[in-house]
Structure formats: structure tokens, C-alpha cells
Structure 1
Amino acid sequence: MQKSTVRRIVFTAIAAPALAFGVPAVAMADAGYDHELTKAGPKGATAYHVSSHAKDGRVEYHESFEHVGPHGAVSSSTHSSAD
């Protein structure tokens, strides 16, 4: 065999197990996203929050909105989760 073919075989033999065990670990990584907005002015005050998290096979999503102004108040909240 040529040296380049032997190198390819050796590289594949070393890389394949590393990829086989490393890729699932990356896929199970924890992830999260958070965003907040608060605002106050002459027309009232507003607060908004959204978050999404994935950890240990559980996924959660939460969104909330509140506004208080001269015509009253409003509030909204959404929550979702899955295992």
C-alpha cells in the first residue's frame, strides 16, 4: 500500500470512535436564551420577558408581557415544557 492510503486508514481508525462518542455529547449540550425589555414613558410602563432553556432532556419556554397605561392594565403569560 502507499503511505497516503495507510495514513488515511490510521486516521479513520482514530477519528471514527472519537466522532461516535463525541457527537452525542454535543447533541445533549445544555442551551438557553433569555431576553428582557422594560420601558417607562408618558404613555405608561411595559415589561416583556422571554426565555427558553434545554437541560438534561427537558425543554422549557416562558413568555410574559405586562403593560400599565392611562387606559388600564394588561398582562399575558405563556409557558410550555416537554420532557
Structure 2
Amino acid sequence: MSSLPERLNTALGGASSTSVWVRRFLIVLTVLGCMVIVGIVFWFLAIIVHPIILLFIGVVIAYLLYPLSKRLSRHMPRALAILLTY
């Protein structure tokens, strides 16, 4: 019965043990690099999510109050109608 390293070596097509370790090392580096990139993306999203939520809420409020300010602007100057609406 052959030992495990010999079977691995045969399964890999006769690759040397150095190339096997280099391949494993590169796989580990690739996985760690992907984890770092995903972490940076999530960190960036955590920073910008609050301003985006505030901007979205402001847009919704402005959209909802626009008809009222438009109706008031028929009877008074537009700036005063907007000031009264908000």
C-alpha cells in the first residue's frame, strides 16, 4: 500500500511537493484577498448608508409636500408658499 504523499503526488500528475505547497499558498492568499476586499466594501457601505437614507427621506418628504406648495403658490409668492409648507 502506498503512502498518502505518494498517492497525492500521483493524483496531481507527478507534481513536486514544492509546487503543491505553492499552489495551496496561492489559494490561501486568494481567499484572504477576497475576504479583505469584501470587508472594505462592507466598511464603505456602512459609512455611506446613513447619508443615503437621510437623502432618500428628504426626497420623499419633498415629493409629498410639493402639491401643497404648488397649490399655495397660486395665491402667494412661491418662496412664501414653500416656506409655509415646510
Same fold (TM > 0.5): no
Larger helix percent: 2
TM-score range, shorter chain: 0.3 to 0.5
Larger strand percent: 1
TM-score relative to the length of structure 1: 0.36
TM-score relative to the length of structure 2: 0.35
